[in-house]
């Protein structure tokens, strides 16, 4: 499949890497040359990049080279989307920005292209309404770091075309993820995973603000009690930095 990824930041660069490794031709685009340079370096040689994956025996050198050859980074939005079959939008979590990007995508991408968003929680209906192809718009919510996490929360409305859902879930599976299809809900930010996560963070912050325990203590308790990989405050930091520290 020919795929464009919009935004080469924490999520977009990793998502582009996973999609290329799964055999797709991927063009990842950003506004900033500096971001592009960082993304190229991260994919090639970063903590979750191909070089480390090869040295740890997670991927053969020839497969890594082939995946890298399928991956293009540029600042040319129009060229990236002009012949894409699927576009995965990964710009910052601001609704007005995402709506603008979806308007541009609707204008510039092929009429039958699927427009997916990696939004963390904005209603699918709001993005679909920005286009003349609401049935081809879908949320494909990834977790950080995309190379590692199996998470694939696929959000749909009654309008989403069945073949669009099938193609996106099949692609998520081909990327080694575990797709779960859930319903759009315009009254609450966060779909399923982030709604539950936000409730947990709220309570963890409340415990700290009451002086009952420090952030470090809450982290330790949650890891030891529930077997989480890290505690709630370490999760916030990891999500912001892409777990690169």
Could you list the residues that contact ligand NAD (CB under 6 A)?
Answer: 6-12, 29-32, 35, 77, 90-93, 101, 118-120, 142-144, 239
Q: Which is nearer to ligand NAD, 31 or 170 (CB)?
A: 31
Q: How far apart are CA 237 and CA 245, in angstroms?
A: 9
- DSSP code for 49: S
Q: What is the b/e burial string over 173-208, where b = at least 16 CB atoms within 10 angstroms of the residue's CB? A: eebebebbbeebbeeebbbbbbeebeeeeeebeebb
Tell me the torsion sign for CA atoms 62, 5, 159, 161: negative
Residues 71 and 17 sit within 8 Å (Cβ to Cβ): yes
Give the C-alpha separation, 43 to 29, whole Å.
14
Residue nearest to ligand NAD (CB): 9
Q: Are strands 71-74 and 25-29 parallel, antiparallel or unpaired?
A: parallel
CB 59 within 8 A of CB 147: no
Q: How far is the CB of 119 from ligand NAD (least distance, A)?
A: 5
Which CB, 134 or 190, lies closer to ligand NAD?
A: 190
DSSP tag of 129? T
Residue 171 CB, nearest distance to ligand NAD (Å)? Answer: 17
Quote the least distance from Cβ 227 to ligand NAD, whole Å. Answer: 21
* Shortest reach from residue 105's CB to ligand NAD, in Å: 10
- For ligand NAD, the closer of residues 66 and 108 by Cβ is 108
Least Å distance, CB 185 to ligand NAD, is 17
Measured at the CA of 142, the angle between CA 141 and CA 146, to 5 degrees, comes to 165
Q: Which is nearer to ligand NAD, 121 or 134 (CB)?
A: 121
Which C-beta is closer to ligand NAD: that of 30 or that of 106?
30
Nearer to ligand NAD, 38 or 161 (CB): 38
Least CB distance from residue 121 to ligand NAD, whole Å?
7
- Residue 60 C-beta: closest distance to ligand NAD, Å: 28
**Closer CB to ligand NAD, residue 92 or residue 211?**
92
Q: Which of 161, 96, 168 is nearest to 134 (CA)?
A: 161
């Amino acid at each position: 499949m020919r795929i464009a990824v919009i935004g080469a930041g924490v999520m977009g660069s990793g998502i582009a890497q996973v999609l290329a490794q799964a055999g797709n031709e991927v063009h990842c685009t950003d506004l900033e040359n500096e971001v592009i340079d960082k993304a190229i370096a991260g994919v090639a040689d970063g903590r979750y990049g191909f070089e480390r994956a090869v040295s740890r025996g997670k991927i053969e050198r020839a497969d890594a080279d082939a995946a890298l050859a399928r991956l293009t980074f540029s600042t040319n939005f129009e060229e990236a989307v002009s012949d894409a079959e699927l576009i995965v939008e990964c710009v910052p979590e601001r609704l007005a920005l995402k709506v603008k990007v979806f308007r541009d995508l609707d204008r510039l991408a092929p009429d039958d292209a699927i427009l997916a968003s990696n939004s963390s929680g904005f209603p699918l209906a709001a993005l679909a309404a920005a286009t003349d192809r609401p049935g081809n718009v879908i949320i494909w919510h990834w977790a950080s770091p995309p190379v590692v996490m199996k998470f694939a929360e696929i959000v749909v409305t009654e309008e989403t075309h069945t073949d669009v859902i099938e193609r996106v879930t099949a692609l998520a599976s081909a990327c080694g993820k575990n797709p779960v299809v859930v319903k759009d809900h315009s009254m609450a930010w966060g779909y399923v995973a982030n709604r539950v996560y936000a409730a947990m963070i709220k309570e963890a912050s409340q415990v700290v603000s009451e002086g009952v325990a420090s952030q470090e203590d809450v982290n330790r308790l949650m890891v030891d009690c529930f077997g989480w990989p890290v505690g709630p405050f370490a999760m916030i930091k990891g999500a912001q930095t892409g777990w690169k520290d």
